[in-house]
Amino acid sequence: MPKPTVEPAADIPLDAKLRPTQARAQDTYEVVLATAGELLIESGFEQLTTNAICKRAGLTPPALYRYFPNKYAILKELGDRLMRLQDEAVFAWMEAGGLEGATASERVAKTAGLLTDVIDMTRRFPGGAAIGRALRAVPMLQQLRFASRDMVAGQFGEVLAARFPSVSPVRIRTATRMMVELTYAATEMAVEEPGQDAGALAEEIGRLFDCYFETFDTEL
């Protein structure tokens, strides 16, 4: 049977202790993160330890602890980076008029292109799938996901409100939360199932969104 996830105590620090400024220190910092990503792929978050990271990276424990107090802080930094990449892709899509298009096929293609990009970057990110699982499973780390979700939903809501001024704010909020959660779910499905056709999945999500927005001219 799989071992249960051990929850960290509420007072365990989650922030990096030091942000390196010199090249050598930056190299060490990045080696810790890259090695943690490799080990996450191989054995998952439950088996990840700072000792294992040090052994694989050829570092002493004091070298690691100079920057990170524990493995949760390392995962938080990896999660921050992954969420930031995903969020930046969504914001760029919004700014480029991702919801706009003269035809349904054009709009669907734009949305599918965004989701395909997000899936690809998550698959390529060191330990991406394991990071996603840990962010869902560890309550202390779920706040990363929630903060990303709320920020994206907030900006998405502004775009929708401008496009559909007659739609109530309540419906806009509900729609944006639904869209963000559906996008997360589709990304997780594709990342957790390597054989999943990301393009086909993204296109279906694009169709769902486009059909859904056709109802926005009428309050339900």
- What residues contact 140, with CB distance under 8 A and at least 6 apart? 7, 8, 10, 12, 14, 72
| pLDDT given at position 6 | 47
* pLDDT reported for residue 3: 46
Give the number of C-alpha atoms closer than 13 A to the C-alpha of residue 212, restricted to the C-beta side: 18
pLDDT at 7: 52
Q: Specify the DSSP element, H or E, that contains 51.
A: helix 50-57
Mean pLDDT in order along the chain per 10 residues (220 residues): 48 71 86 93 88 95 93 92 92 90 92 94 88 83 86 91 90 91 90 88 94 75
What's the confidence (pLDDT) of residue 25? 83
pLDDT of residue 78: 93
Residue 68: name the closest of 118, 108, 33 by CA.
33
All structural domains of the chain, each given as residue ranges with its CATH number in brackets, are 78-215 (1.10.357)
What does pTM read for this prediction? 0.84
